[in-house]
Amino acid sequence: MRIHCLQHLKNETLGNIGTWITRKGHRLTKTLPCKAPLFPNTEEFDLLLIMGGTMSVYHEEEYSWLKPEKEFVKKVIETGKPVLGSCFGAQMIADVLGGKVRKNPYKEIGWHTVRSVEGKNPGKVKNPKLPACMSQEFTGFMWHGDTFEIPACAMRLFESEACPNQGFIYNGNVLGLQFHPEANRQWVGNLIRDSGHELVSGKYIQSEKEIYGQECFFESSGSLAFSLMDWFEENVSEK
């Protein structure tokens, strides 16, 4: 499988997702829009990954590369190709599909419970068959201050106590997740080194000690990421 990644932070790794790609022997290419917003032809890849970032999708005047990246993401979605966006990436997908992105009432940083909202989508079809580990309740890693509206054409999938919109799916293969399935120790360490000043006192903000001290969540994050990427691999193979 050919995977293309939009990376927004210089020191960002793909964490658990990168490990999965290596073990599977898939091909990975990257674009760093803030350095060179030159995007590949959509025929050159099978799956698009849109990673996180410290910027906001509504700061187009400050970040000139945002508008061309949004145009590229919209084009990819229109082709019907599978897309996975985490955190900023999910907010970008929501924006492209017509959902507003704004500040969340709370910053949410650390390991937090995510719940499935199956049965809470009146008038819409039943939730797609996502990995079993995402079907009820699980723990995901968060680091965000913004949130997205669920686009009218998409289905809400997950919620947390601090953020009602934790994920959505569009067209059965475009998945936006507010949490970070890629989070492993190295990935979290890089983020803390770059943005550790945000670890202040807050209702939904954990300390560095709390984040690192929950080994079971690092393990479950890896399992979740692998199951999720297996799901995408199957989705691609069916096309």
* CA geometry: angle 6, 8, 14, nearest 5 deg: 65
Is-contact 225 133, C-beta < 8 A? no
Least confident of 34-38, 53-57, 96-100, 101-105: 34-38
Check whether 74 has a pLDDT greater than 80: yes
Q: Which two tokens stand for residue 202?
A: 């807050």
Pairing of strands 27-31, 2-6: parallel
Q: What's the confidence (pLDDT) of residue 12? A: 86
Instruction: Return the number of other C-beta atoms located less than 10 Å from residue 122's C-beta.
Output: 5
Check whether 123 has a pLDDT greater than 70: no
Q: What's the confidence (pLDDT) of residue 97? A: 98
Pick the CATH number of 2-238 from 3.30.70.270, 3.40.50.880, 3.10.20.30, 3.50.50.60: 3.40.50.880
- When pLDDT is cut at 50, 70 and 90, the band that residue 124 belongs to is low
Whole-model pTM: value is 0.94
Q: What's the confidence (pLDDT) of residue 68? A: 96
The span from the CA of 213 to the CA of 206, in Å, is 11
> What does the pLDDT average to over 142-171?
97
Is-contact 6 48, C-beta < 8 A? yes
- When pLDDT is cut at 50, 70 and 90, the band that residue 128 belongs to is low
Q: Which tops the pLDDT comparison, 120 or 169?
A: 169
Note the pLDDT tens digit of each residue in 11-39.
889 999 999 999 999 999 999 998 888 89
Q: Please, where are the H alpha helices in the chain?
A: 15-24, 66-79, 88-96, 185-195, 208-212, 215-238
Instruction: Return the number of other C-beta atoms located less than 10 Å from residue 119's C-beta.
Output: 8
Is-contact 177 224, C-beta < 8 A? no
Q: What's the confidence (pLDDT) of residue 229? A: 97
**Domain assignments of the chain as residue spans, ordered by start:** 2-238
Mean pLDDT for the chain? 94
